[in-house]
Amino acid sequence: MTVTTPAPLVRSRGTFRLQREDELASDLRSSTPTEVAAASSAQGGGRRPSALATSAEEERQINAIARIVCQATMEALAGLRPVVQLQRWLEAQVYSKVRERVELTHEAQELAPKAPRPLAFHQVRTEKVAPGVWECAVIFGDEHRVRACALRMEAHRRRWRVVALELG
Domains of the chain: 55-167 (3.10.450)
**13/69: higher pLDDT:** 69
Q: What percent of the chain has pLDDT over 90?
A: 35
pLDDT (average), residues 74-92: 89
pTM: 0.64
DSSP code, position 90: B
CA proximity to 149, closest of 130, 127, 121, 114: 121
H helix or E strand, kind and range, residue 140: strand 133-141
Q: Give how far Cα 10 sits from Cα of 15, 16, 21, 31, 86, Å.
A: 10, 13, 20, 20, 40
State pLDDT tens for residues 20-45: 444 444 444 444 444 434 444 444 44
State pLDDT tens for residues 47-82: 566 555 677 888 899 999 999 999 999 888 888 889
Which residues, in sequence order, are CB contacts of 47 under 8 Å at separation 6+? 155, 158
- Do 167 and 149 form a contact (C-beta atoms < 8 A)? yes
pLDDT (average), residues 112-136: 83
In this structure, the dihedral spanned by the alpha carbons of residues 102, 137, 162 and 46, taken in order and rounded to 10 degrees, is 180
